[in-house]
Amino acid sequence: MEIIKKLDGDKFELKVEGRLDTTTAPELEEVIVAGIEGVKELVFDFAALDYISSAGLRVLLSAQKIMNKQGDMKVIGVNDTIMEIFEVTGFSDILTIDK
């Protein structure tokens, strides 16, 4: 997994590539925890994400809960595989998803 960070004022964009699973999710969580303070807009770019496991979903859920308090969170570039996972797990109901 690879994470490309881009902080633009109070907009924090994270481009996640590869597999987001039990072994890699803690890394993403660290990046989010370290950079989320004062962020008004959090964007996840999943265009190059191959797979997301429940551990990855948990990280998204945590981020969503934090952003509910301080701004907006958006997931963009979601492909069919990831979209299916979001739909099956019901995450499509609580996330703002731009395909």
- Nearer of residues 6 and 81 to other proteins, judged by Cβ: 81
* C-alpha atoms less than 13 angstroms from C-alpha of 88 in its C-beta half-sphere: 10
Looking at residue 67, what DSSP letter applies? Answer: H
Q: Minimal distance in Å, beta carbon 31 to other proteins?
A: 17
Question: Residues 72, 42: contact at Cβ < 8 Å?
Answer: yes
Minimum distance of other proteins from residue 6's CB (angstroms): 26
Q: Which is nearer to other proteins, 10 or 79 (CB)?
A: 79
Contact residues for other proteins, defined by CB under 8 A: 22, 53-55, 57-58, 61-62, 65, 87-91, 93-94
User: In whole angstroms, how close is the CB of 9 to other proteins at the nearest point?
Assistant: 28
Phi, psi angle pair for 3, to nearest 5°: -120, 125
Q: Give 65's Cβ-side CA count (13 Å radius).
A: 7
Comparison of 38 and 90: residue with beta carbon closer to other proteins = 90
Q: Evaluate whether 44 touches 31 at the Cβ level (below 8 Å).
A: no
Cβ closest to other proteins, residue 22 vs residue 96: 22
